[in-house]
Amino acid sequence: MASGKCTCSRRSRSVLLFLSLLLVPVLTGPALPPPCVTHCAEISIGKLERLLVEGDVILRYGNGFWSPLCRDVSSREKRFSHAGIVVSGHDGLGVIHASGGEFTGSGAVSHEPLEAFLASAIDYSVYRIDNERVSGKRIAGNAAALIGRPFDRAFDLDDGGRRMYCTELVRDAVNNAAGFTVIGTTSVHGTAIVAPDDCYAHALFRKVADKTTFQGTGG
């Protein structure tokens, strides 16, 4: 029988407390409507793959404990909680992203199939930089070079990239490929955070796929 006591380390608890306190003022705003509960696994992955290319930025809203907090740090569109970069491989398209355990913060940058990335998602959308001088393959290569990098549970953009959180990975992969700032940051209580909506706010981004595109479709 569970004791009911938290088994997180003191370090993990302090980081999670910091994140929750950081986002409290955001959560005190107007209540948001509940998201659609239809999971993205119900759409055709094959049909989606035909629309995507390497270097696309994919965002999702998940069903994890921290998903609402991560979503609500966005200042423009409070819709997504996680992000990654689309890459291609022998087995089809995949996603490179940084993730950590909900109550431990332990994790790393990793690759997983597109279908697995969207399996528990409630909502998602995909964006592409509409500029021939910004190579999608280079964006994907930059993301791939970060595989194995530890997850940044402190959300610290000043650690020289030694650790990464999901939107930080997207920012660095895209900006380094472009050679200029495409993805910026959002200030929360004076702390710079790469919010989910920062990952597609620039005018160069265009939407190439969205969950609503596939609602009610099959095959």
For 12-31, what is the mean pLDDT? 46
pLDDT at 49: 93
Sequence-ordered alpha helix ranges (H) in 58-193: 67-72, 114-118, 136-144, 166-178
Q: Is 42 inside any structural domain? A: yes
In this structure, which amino acid lies at residue 192?
A: A
Give the CATH number of the domain where residue 132 resides: 3.90.1720.10
The pLDDT value recorded for residue 119 is 92
CA distance 187 to 72: 13
pLDDT at 8: 44
Which of 92, 22, 102 shows the shortest CA–CA distance to 66?
102
Per residue in 170-215, pLDDT (tens digit) is: 999 999 999 999 999 999 989 999 999 999 999 999 999 999 876 5
In the prediction, which pLDDT does 217 show?
A: 39
pLDDT for res 19: 54
* Mean of pLDDT values over 66-87: 95
Percentage of the residues of the chain whose pLDDT score is greater than 90: 66
**Residue 44 or 117, more confident:** 117
Does position 216 have pLDDT exceeding 50, yes or no? no
Any domain includes 213 = no
- Better-predicted residue by pLDDT, 7 or 83: 83
Query: How do strand 123-129 and strand 107-113 relate by DSSP bridges?
Result: unpaired
- The whole-number pLDDT of residue 110 equals 97
pLDDT of 112 above 90: yes
In whole angstroms, give the CA distance from residue 13 to residue 55: 35
Instruction: Decide if 168 is inside a domain.
Output: yes
Q: Are strands 186-188 and 123-129 parallel, antiparallel or unpaired?
A: unpaired
Domain limits for position 188: 10-23+37-205
Instruction: Give the total number of structural domains in the chain.
Output: 1
More confident residue, 40 or 61: 61
- Residue-level pLDDT at 57: 98
The reported pLDDT for the residue numbered 165 is 97
Asked, for residue 53, whether it belongs to a domain, the answer is yes
The pLDDT score that the predictor gives to residue 28 is: 41
pLDDT at site 24: 46
Residue 165 inside a domain? The answer is: yes
CA distance 17 to 19: 5
Residue range 123-134: mean pLDDT, rounded = 95
Q: Is residue 136 part of a domain?
A: yes
Task: Identify whether 212 is part of a domain.
Answer: no
Please check whether residue 218 lies inside any domain of the structure.
no
- Average the pLDDT over 83-104 and give the result: 92
